[in-house]
Amino acid sequence: MPVIAVIDYDMGNLHSACKGLENAGATTKVTDSAQALEQADAIVLPGVGSFDPAVQHIRSRQLEGPIKAAIVSGKPFLGICLGLQILFDASEEGKEPGLGIIPGMVRRFRSEPGITIPHMGWNQLQIHQPESPLWQHLPSEPWVYFVHSYYVDPVKEDVKAATITHGSQTITAAIARDNLMAVQFHPEKSSTAGLQILSNFVQWVNQRRLVTIG
């Protein structure tokens, strides 16, 4: 069973994330320890709340370096919601620099007639990387659950793993680059599709772990 470190920085619903991963067959370890991140088979960075406090808490726990080192090492990494946004350079929500792992900005939805901000509820993914481990065994346009007022705007188009449409705006809903994956929606709140996505991640981690052991 793979051990997945779930980063605790006081900015996420850790219980829901852990429950979804455990239902998919993982052993979870909630931690803010750099050593635990290094020892785990994979890392999940959940997050709910505002950009500036999130990156401040990451840095106050001296986790920025270990997170970057884990991603560079090739360790499977999954960001969820705010855990996606803080991977970017900066956000219109605050003034703190992000982790700068993915080039790009976090932007606020434009106000327009007929859309609500925050974007809250179910929306359909348009898959851009069908070969990604996250999307296996899913329908072509799965429904997932969102709660957010800001969205990521990556510099490079090729990191976009999925998009959604909200009003007239098409925005990035997930990114993927090698071992790094992150989603704006909440898979733990996204019913069957969300649980399948978490299961896909756990299975991918386990396959990589068995190859390494072998």
Residues 6 or more apart whose CB falls under 8 angstroms from that of 191 comprise 143, 145
**Which DSSP category does 27 fall into?**
E
- The answer to whether 80 and 183 are in contact (CB under 8 A) is yes
Residues 6 or more apart whose CB falls under 8 angstroms from that of 115 comprise 109, 166, 167, 169
**Catalytic entry in 57, 81, 148, 166:** 81
93 is catalytic: no
Rounded Cα distance, 70 and 65, in Å: 9
For Cα atoms 46, 119, 153, give the angle at the middle one, nearest 5 degrees: 65
18 is catalytic: no
Place of tokens 């090492």: 73
**Catalytic entry in 18, 128, 166, 188:** 188
Token pair listed for 166: 């909200």
**Residues with catalytic annotation?**
81, 186, 188
